[in-house]
Amino acid sequence: MFEEFVLAASTADLSEEPRARDHADAVEFRMDLADAPRDQLASYDGELPLLVTNRASWEGGEADGLARYDALSDAVARDAVAAVDVELAALRGTHPDPAEESHATALRDAARREGVAVVASVHDFESTPEPAALVDLLADAASEGDVGKLATTATAPTDALATLKATHEATVAGHRVATMCMGEPGRHTRAVAPVYGSKIGYAPVDPAEATAPGQYPLATLRTLVDRLRGGEPGA
């Protein structure tokens, strides 16, 4: 997975998967936002592979405590799950709670035993660092997972340019990355970053339930990405 660009339809309700099939390559299942997420996984019989995310509250999600790792460990053992998102701060041991690192690395080991790809993620809800810092972050994230994901907040067009530049440099250096800017000034990066090497895009199945600022509707992002990359819309 992630050899080519993957458009993930984000949802907390796996019964929405049929609505995503025409446009998405995978479903990002937001376990931290879902009702009975383990039950949903147990009964999932959809066509699209799953990227499971149980986002920690300290990185913008709604999952509290270390119990989120138990749910993710159960998830990666399921055949439908092709990838799991793990916060870079936990994998690198930079979170104040040292237990985060041991749980995160154990989850990564379990995922790899199951042939499940690991997305090591970083989210900055306040700003976009300088390009050199972005490249370093992407290299760190890519070294800890199969894909290094970096979502920052753009407050000006220069932030979007910095992200695109870092995406290109990291890709040329051989790192597999996924990048985007949150916020209106960087919204277009969600469509443009794949041109520079970004491997994952995210869009909500239901536009009213966007999980991050600036997300495009699923069908819109599919069309934009395909056209900018030189393919037919929906290809």
Residue 207's pLDDT is 78
Indicate whether 103 pLDDT > 80: yes
CA 48, CA 116: separation in Å to the nearest integer? 15
Q: For the structural domain made of 6-218, what CATH number should be given?
A: 3.20.20.70
Bridge-based pairing state of the strands 50-53 and 177-182: unpaired
pLDDT tens figures, 116-144? 999 999 999 999 999 999 999 999 999 99
Mean pLDDT to the nearest integer, 37-53: 98
The answer, yes or no, to whether residue 213 has pLDDT greater than 80, is no
Check whether 183 has a pLDDT greater than 80.
Answer: yes
For the record, the structure tokens of 48 come out as 């699209």
pTM: 0.94
Beta-carbon contacts of residue 225 (< 8 Å; ≥ 6 apart): 5, 7, 191, 194, 201
pLDDT for the residue numbered 205: 87
Task: Report yes or no: 88 and 59 within 8 Å, Cβ to Cβ.
Answer: no
Residue 78 or 229, more confident: 78
Report pLDDT for 158.
Answer: 97
CA-derived radius of gyration, the chain: 16
Measured CA to CA, the distance from residue 41 to residue 71 in angstroms comes to 10
How do 50-53 and 26-30 pair as beta strands?
parallel
Looking at residue 114, its pLDDT comes to: 98
pLDDT, tens digit, for every residue of 69-90?
999 999 999 999 999 999 999 9
Domain ranges of the chain: 6-218
**DSSP code of residue 35:** S
pLDDT recorded at residue 214: 77
Active site residues: 123, 149
pLDDT confidence of 212, banded at 50, 70, 90? confident
What's the rounded mean pLDDT across residues 189-211? 91
DSSP for 49-87, please give it.
-EEEE--BGGGTSSB-STHHHHHHHHHHTSTTEEEEEEE
Mean of the per-residue pLDDT values for the chain?
94
Angle of helix 131-144 relative to helix 157-172, nearest 10 degrees, comes to 50
Query: Are residues 85 and 99 in contact, defined by beta-carbon separation less than 8 angstroms?
Result: no
Distance set, CA 201 to CA 86, 105, 140, 179 (Å): 17, 25, 20, 8
Residues annotated as binding site for 3-dehydroquinate? 28-30, 55, 190, 211, 215
Annotated binding site: 28-30, 55, 190, 211, 215
3-state secondary structure at position 189: helix
User: Range with the lowest mean pLDDT among 114-118, 130-134, 152-156, 205-209?
Assistant: 205-209
pLDDT range class, residue 231, cuts 50, 70, 90: low
